[in-house]
Amino acid sequence: MATTAVKYTTERILWKRHWTDRLMSIRLTRDPAFRFTPGQFARLGLQISETGFLWRAYSIVSASWDEYLEFYSIVVPEGEFSPRLARLEVGDEVLVDKTAYGFFTANRFPDGEDLWLLATGTALGPYLSILHEAAVWQRFRHIVLVHSVREAAELSYQNEIAALQRHPLWAEHGHKLQYLPVVTREAVPGALSRRIPAMLQDGTLERTAGLTLSPERSRIMICGSPQMVEDTHRLLKTMGYALSRLSAPAQLALENGW
Ligand SMILES: Cc1cc2nc3c(=O)[nH]c(=O)nc-3n(C[C@H](O)[C@H](O)[C@H](O)COP(=O)(O)OP(=O)(O)OC[C@H]3O[C@@H](n4cnc5c(N)ncnc54)[C@H](O)[C@@H]3O)c2cc1C
């Protein structure tokens, strides 16, 4: 009798952290056969009835070599999936599709001088995984991580970002990373306060980072709210940047956060 191969593994929650009532991180056990390139996303599943499953895409936060898989999740109160995920406890089951998906990876770019990583909200996640690749630290002279949120409490992972700058695997390159937090709905000392496209357009990001943007030297990854991704992409196109494809390497990589 023919059997249908199961396309997912059943994993367990090892750890969870609520950053705010709308933001959480979880770590799941990882099937040893699950492989991914940093920047890719997994499909997480919950079984909600005997035959019913819900699946959602989640960017992987953890390093490719970590024994667990970490995810950074919004909790949308009216959403179908995320409130269920938020109610689970350590030890509970989450399904993980055996395949990792997506092309939002740093290896799609030709080499350049500066790597700009632009995120809103939970789109910080894929960059944390990418920044655990030693090759990324070696390939670029400067790395600028811009994380835009509405309120200061949403600036998650600050200690982890600081630790990245001191990581022994790329210790001599740690100084290359600049972290630029952006908080748009309250004034926070040390944080920028306007939307990413506006700060690209008027030169605020360049001035703050002390770097000049140009198609020759800059490689730019953009991930987050579809509006931010679209506005930023449209602006950068007018400035001479193009989407990087395997057949036509260029400067930009985009991913919508939902
Ligand atoms: C390629 C890809 C990668 C993704 N990676 C992540 C991730 O790493 N973390 C994550 O939390 N979500 C991620 N998402 C979104 C995720 O798949 C779910 O949509 C989200 O977790 C909410 O699920 P839900 O069923 O509760 O609500 P849904 O019905 O799926 O969404 C309801 C509404 O919530 C809003 N929303 C959804 N996701 C977000 C978000 N991340 N931030 C702000 N508002 C949002 C949108 O307005 C959406 O219409 C990703 C989506 C895609 C396509």
CA–chain centroid gap for 105, Å, is: 10
Mean pLDDT to the nearest integer, 227-239: 98
Mean pLDDT, to the nearest integer, of 235-257? 95
Residue 108 has pLDDT above 60, yes or no: yes
Cβ count near 56 (within 10 Å): 18
Atom of ligand 1 nearest to the CA of 83: 26
How many helices (H) and strands (E) are present in the chain, helices listed first?
7, 11
- What's the longest Cα–Cα distance across the chain? 66
**pLDDT reported for residue 2:** 54
CATH H superfamily, domain 8-97? Translation factors (2.40.30.10)
**Pick from 96, 171, 173: which is nearest to 142 by CA?**
173
Q: Flag whether pLDDT at 65 surpasses 90.
A: yes
163: phi then psi, degrees, rounded to nearest 5: -65, -30
State the pairing for strand pair 142-149/114-120.
parallel
Task: For residues 71 and 204, give the distance between their C-alpha atoms in angstroms, rounded to a whole number.
Answer: 31
Residues found in the chain: 258
- Check the CA dihedral 190-194-197-201 and report its sign: negative
Ordered by start, the domain boundaries in the chain are 8-97, 106-256
Residue range 64-88: average pLDDT? 98
Q: What mean pLDDT is reported for the chain?
A: 96
Q: Is the CB of 58 under 6 A from ligand 1?
A: yes
Is the Cβ atom of 219 under 6 angstroms away from ligand 1? no
Q: For residue 192, report the phi and psi dihedrals to the nearest 5 degrees.
A: -75, 170
Nearest CA to ligand 1 atom 1: 57
Query: Tens digit of pLDDT for each residue in 109-157?
Result: 889 999 999 999 999 999 999 999 999 999 999 999 999 999 999 999 9
- Spacing, Cα 57 to ligand 1 middle (Å): 7
Distance 111 CA to ligand 1 centre (A): 31
pLDDT of amino acid 203: 97
82: Cβ below 6 Å to ligand 1?
A: yes
Give the distance (Å) from ligand 1 centre to CA of residue 126.
14
Q: How many angstroms separate the alpha carbon of residue 82 from the centre of ligand 1?
A: 8
pLDDT digit string, tens, across residues 174-224: 999 999 999 999 999 999 999 999 999 999 999 999 999 999 999 999 999
Confidence of residue 5 (pLDDT cuts 50, 70, 90): confident
Strand segments (E) across the chain: 8-20, 23-29, 41-47, 53-59, 68-74, 93-97, 114-120, 142-149, 177-183, 218-224, 252-256
**Residue 115 has which token pair?**
């790597």
CATH topology (fold) of 106-256:
Rossmann fold (3.40.50)
